[in-house]
Amino acid sequence: MRDGWDPDRYLRYRELRNRPALELLNRVSSTSPALVVDLGCGTGRIARAMRDRWPDARVVGIDRSAKMLTAAAETGGDVQWLNSDIAEWTPDSPVDVLYSNAALQWLPDHQTLLPKLVSFLAPGGVLAVQMPLGWSEPSHALMRDTLESGGPGRSPLGPEDLRNRLSRRWVAEPIDYHDLLTPLAALLDIWTTRYLQVLQGPEPVFEWVKGTGLRPILDTLEEPELETFLTGYRKRLVEAYPRRSDGTTIYPFPRLFIVATAGT
């Protein structure tokens, strides 16, 4: 599979993408952590914000995309960048702040993954997680529908494995995470926010999902199936998210936040 992460494309809407990331970081109450880890750090902007907030801490940014880590390292900052898969990573010492913004949705089996992450915390340490709740939104539902019916003769596009991966509900309901983490945390705060994102440009929702949710399809499909998919999908997106009279497009997008604090 190709590494379709494109730092420039991802950062096209950097302010909107950073807003939930910073709101999550602001809910972390740690005052003097020794080890701070950003799981799925991408281009490293939040890891550098952690460095500014906790100058005495060791800050580690972890990502499996070499392209993203190259972009992160080019911006400087006293941060250790580590190329690793979150599912396989283990810290070398207990973590005081374990932070992950818009990354864990790519990993399966949260019933195992999140308790494992909590187990990495130092006493009083904090696990802070944000995940997009886009699975049911038209932008993501139309991806699945176009794959299923977009080919010649209405035949499915791409390998069955791709369609199965996209059909998996990537993020569970908030109550499921509450029930999972309550026995493991001394304090637990879970909430959702639905952002009404105002986008500019002729096909802004398409440009948005190209940077994230559409990546498995762009990484997997080959021509001519890729062109067939993109033609059908872009047409459906324009219908689902019409451009308004002022030139903007409204793209509502919900997100889930979790802040779990370990006991002391």
The residue segments making up the domain with residue 130 are 1-134+170-200+254-264
pLDDT digits (tens, 9 = 90+) for 1-10: 444 445 555 4
Segment 77-84 shows an average pLDDT of 92
Cβ–Cβ under 8 Å, residues 138 and 261: no
For residues 91 and 183, state if they share a domain: yes
d(CA 88, CA 192): 28
| Residue 238 dihedral angles phi and psi, to the nearest 5° | -60, -35
Residues 27, 13: one domain? Answer: yes
Alpha-carbon distance of 257 to 128, in angstroms, equals: 8
Report the predicted TM-score, pTM, of the whole model to 2 decimal places.
0.91
Task: Give me the CATH number covering residue 90.
Answer: 3.40.50.150
Q: At a CB cut-off of 8 Å and minimum separation 6, what does 261 contact?
A: 124, 125, 126, 127, 185, 186, 187, 188
Q: Tell me the sheet residues that pair with 143.
A: none
Residue 146 shares a structural domain with residue 47: no
Same domain, 1 and 122: yes
How many Å is the maximal CA-CA distance in the chain? 61
Question: Is 187 found in the same domain as 118?
Answer: yes
142 with 159, same domain? yes
Residues 125 and 94 sit within 8 Å (Cβ to Cβ):
yes
**Quick check: 12 pLDDT over 70?**
no
- pLDDT value at residue 226: 95
User: In this structure, which amino acid lies at residue 247?
Assistant: G
Same domain, 24 and 145: no
pLDDT range class, residue 259, cuts 50, 70, 90: very high
Mean pLDDT (whole number) for 178-184: 98
Rounded CA-CA distance 133/193 in Å is: 10
User: Can you tell me the distance from the alpha carbon of 27 to that of 37, in angstroms, rounded to the nearest whole number?
Assistant: 16
pLDDT given for residue 2 in this prediction: 46
- Same domain for 26 and 58, yes or no, is yes
**What average pLDDT does the structure give for the chain?**
92
User: What's the number of domains the chain is made of?
Assistant: 2
Question: Are 121 and 144 part of one and the same domain?
Answer: no
The reported pLDDT for the residue numbered 151 is 62
Of 5-9, 201-205, 225-229, the one with minimum mean pLDDT is: 5-9
Is residue 40 within 8 A of residue 102, CB to CB? The reply is yes
